[in-house]
Structure 1
Amino acid sequence: MSLTQERAPIYEALEKFRKMRVVPFDVPGHKRGKGNRELRDFLGERCLSIDVNSMKPLDNLCHPVSVIKEAEELAASAFGAAHAFLMVGGTTSAVQSMVLTACKRGDKIILPRNVHRSVINALVLCGAVPVYVNPDVDRRLGIALGMKVPQVEQAIEENPDAVAVLVNNPTYYGICSDITSIIELAHRHNMLVLADEAHGTHFYFGENMPPAAMRAGADMAAVSMHKSGGSLTQSSLLLSGENVNPGYVHQIINLTQTTSGSYLLLSSLDISRRNLAMNGREIFRHVAELAGYARDEINRIGGYYAYSRELINGDSIFDFDVTKLSVYTLDIGLAGIEVYDILRDDYDIQIEFGDIGNILAYISIGDRKQDIERLASALAEIKRLCRKSRNGMMTQEYINPQVAVSPQEAFYAPKEQLPIEKTAGRVCSEFVMCYPPGIPILAPGERITQEILEYISYAREKGCQLTGPEDPKIRLLNVLEPV
Structure 2
Amino acid sequence: MDRINQHTAPVYEAMLELRKRRMVPFDVPGHKRGRGNPELLDFLGEKCVGVDVNSMKMLDNLSHPISVIREAEELTADAFGAQHAFFMVNGTTSAVQAMVLATVRAGDEILLPRNVHKSVINALVLCGGIPVYVPVRVNHQIGIATGMALSDVEKAIREHPHAKAIFVNNPTYYGIASDLAGIVRVAHAAGMKVLVDEAHGTHLYFGKNLPISGMAAGGDLAAVSMHKSGGSLTQSSILLCGEGVDAEYVQQIINLTQTTSASYLLISSLDLSRRNLALHGAEAFEKVSSMAEYARAEINEIGGFYAYGRELIDGDSVYDFDVTKLSVFTQGIGMTGIEVYDMLRDEYDIQIEFGDIGNILAYISIGDRIRDIERLVGALEDIAGRFAKDKRELYCGEFIAPELVMSPKEAFYAKGERLPLKDTVGRISGEMLMCYPPGIPILTPGERITEEILTYIEYAREKGCSLQGTQDPECRELRILTET
TM-score by length of 1: 0.99
Offset of residue 295 of structure 1: 0.3
Structure 1 residues 228-252: Cα deviation after superposition (integer angstroms, max 9, x where no partner): 0010000000001121111110000
Query: 1:59 corresponds to which residue?
Result: 60
| Aligned residue pairs, count | 482
Query: 2:290 corresponds to which residue?
Result: 289
Q: 1: CA distance between counterparts of 2:356 and 2:273? A: 30
User: Is 1:355 aligned with 2:356?
Assistant: yes
Asked whether the 8 Å contact 1:356–1:397 carries over to 2, the reply is no
Query: 1:453 corresponds to which residue?
Result: 454
Q: 1: CA distance between counterparts of 2:156 and 2:244? A: 23
SS at match of 1:227: helix
Query: 1:104 corresponds to which residue?
Result: 105
Task: Give the share of equivalent positions with the same residue, in percent.
Answer: 65
Matched ranges for 1:204-243 at <5 A: 204-243=205-244
Asked whether the 8 Å contact 2:137–2:399 carries over to 1, the reply is no
Q: 2: CA distance between counterparts of 1:178 and 1:147? A: 8
**Amino acid of the structure 1 residue aligned with 2:411:** A
SS at match of 2:434: strand
Q: 1: CA distance between counterparts of 2:80 and 2:284? A: 16
Query: 1:378 corresponds to which residue?
Result: 379
Q: 2: CA distance between counterparts of 1:131 and 1:390? A: 38
Query: 1:198 corresponds to which residue?
Result: 199
Offset of residue 392 of structure 1: 4.2
Query: 2:335 corresponds to which residue?
Result: 334
In structure 2, runs of 5+ residues without a counterpart are none
Query: 1:144 corresponds to which residue?
Result: 145
Structure 1 residues 96-155: Cα deviation after superposition (integer angstroms, max 9, x where no partner): 001000111111100101000001110000000011012110011111010011111111
Q: 2: CA distance between counterparts of 1:160 and 1:331? A: 44
* Cα gap change, 1:197 to 1:217, in 2 (>3 Å): same
**Amino acid of the structure 2 residue aligned with 1:328:** F
**Amino acid of the structure 1 residue aligned with 2:347:** D
Query: 1:172 corresponds to which residue?
Result: 173
Q: 1: CA distance between counterparts of 2:451 and 2:304? A: 31
Query: 1:134 corresponds to which residue?
Result: 135
**Amino acid of the structure 2 residue aligned with 1:385:** R
Matched ranges for 1:295-334 at <5 A: 295-334=296-335
Q: 1: CA distance between counterparts of 2:93 and 2:391? A: 36
Q: 1: CA distance between counterparts of 2:211 and 2:242? A: 19
Q: 1: CA distance between counterparts of 2:371 and 2:198? A: 29
**Amino acid of the structure 2 residue aligned with 1:301:** I
In structure 1, runs of 5+ residues without a counterpart are none
**Amino acid of the structure 2 residue aligned with 1:159:** H
Query: 1:163 corresponds to which residue?
Result: 164
**Amino acid of the structure 1 residue aligned with 2:230:** G
Q: 1: CA distance between counterparts of 2:4 and 2:326? A: 36
Structure 1 residues 311-341: Cα deviation after superposition (integer angstroms, max 9, x where no partner): 0000000000000000000010000000000
TM-score by length of 2: 0.99
**Amino acid of the structure 2 residue aligned with 1:330:** Q
Q: 2: CA distance between counterparts of 1:112 and 1:479? A: 24
Offset of residue 3 of structure 1: 5.2
Offset of residue 351 of structure 1: 0.2
Structure 1 ranges of 4+ moved more than 2 A:
389-392
User: Is 1:184 aligned with 2:188?
Assistant: no
C-alpha RMSD of the superposition: 0.9
Q: 2: CA distance between counterparts of 1:466 and 1:59? A: 41
Offset of residue 267 of structure 1: 0.2
User: Is 1:263 aligned with 2:264?
Assistant: yes
Q: 1: CA distance between counterparts of 2:107 and 2:27? A: 44
SS at match of 1:361: strand
Q: 1: CA distance between counterparts of 2:64 and 2:94? A: 17
Asked whether the 8 Å contact 1:3–1:70 carries over to 2, the reply is no
Asked whether the 8 Å contact 2:202–2:230 carries over to 1, the reply is yes
**Amino acid of the structure 1 residue aligned with 2:429:** C
Query: 1:462 corresponds to which residue?
Result: 463
**Amino acid of the structure 1 residue aligned with 2:413:** Y
Q: 2: CA distance between counterparts of 1:28 and 1:174? A: 40
